[in-house]
Chain A
Amino acid sequence: MAKLYNESLQEPVKPTGPKAETISFLLNFSKALSVTKYKNMTFETLNN
């Protein structure tokens, strides 16, 4: 009788959520970014 073999399936990768560093980067980016408007022009400045 033929043997039956189970194919080992790859474990599904579960999304774990963004890394803490990414969130921290975004919050720091937001703090550093300042937008200045002059007449009809917009200037972006990153103050690190």
Chain B
Amino acid sequence: MNIENVQDAVLVKQYINGSEKGLEVLITRHKQRIYSFIFSKVMDRDITEDIFQDTFIKVIRTLKKGKYNEEGKFLPWVMRIAHNLVIDHFRRNKRMPKFQSRNDFDIFDVISDGEESMEYDMITNQMHEDVRKLVEELPADQKEVLTMRIFKEMSFKEIAACTDVSINTALGRMRYALINLRKVIDKHNIVLTR
């Protein structure tokens, strides 16, 4: 008797008893129907392929474990497994929404690898260089206070102690340093923003 004409139930039994040919015939016989069923739900070839594969992995494991209850309904059973996996797929997708690139939208426009771009780095370096030059132009006492406060992050109490002046004087020098910096920036139209 040609194995192609054997009923599903017999093929399942043969497979459980160790005949791999039984599984091959079952897959070949039902692959198109199961594949089309999955495709009609997910409408994506790659996902269909994945779910199809997962479906049969589950079928194989269940059969090999001897957990399959034969009631002459192999195909409806496989369809039910496929259906459950499709539902799992949509549940997963709901938790993790999928972005698809379109012509006018690229996902890489809104996500980054966490590193700044080369352009961003260059602008930042340029800004730091400009500020350093401006600070160099300040009177020595103002430059000293500003450097201690901004670059060394010292408190005004510490600055006052270091420079041997009162806290109010240190505060005043800082104030004038900032006023002078702003004046120079305005005068020369220096842009210090990105």
Contacts and interface: CB of A to CB of B under 8 A. Distances in A.
A40 to B, nearest CB: 13
B48 A26 contact: no
A31 to B, nearest CB: 6
B42 to A, nearest CB: 10
B23 interface: yes
Contacts, number: 52
A20 to B, nearest CB: 11
Interface residues of B, number: 24
A35 B52 CA distance: 22
29 contacts: A13-B45, A15-B39, A15-B48, A17-B35, A18-B31, A18-B52, A18-B53, A19-B49, A22-B53, A23-B27, A23-B28, A25-B53, A26-B23, A26-B27, A26-B56, A27-B23, A27-B24, A29-B57, A30-B20, A30-B60, A30-B64, A31-B20, A33-B60, A33-B61, A33-B64, A35-B61, A35-B64, A42-B65, A44-B61
A15 B57 contact: no
A13 B40 CA distance: 10
A17 B32 contact: yes
Nearest to B52: A18
Nearest to B56: A26
A16 B45 CA distance: 9
Contacts of B27: 23, 26-27
A18 B24 CA distance: 14
A26 B53 contact: yes
B31 A17 contact: yes
Contacts of A34: 64
A22 B38 CA distance: 15
Interface in A1-18: 13, 15-18
B87 interface: no
B43 interface: yes
Contacts of A13: 43, 45
B36 interface: yes
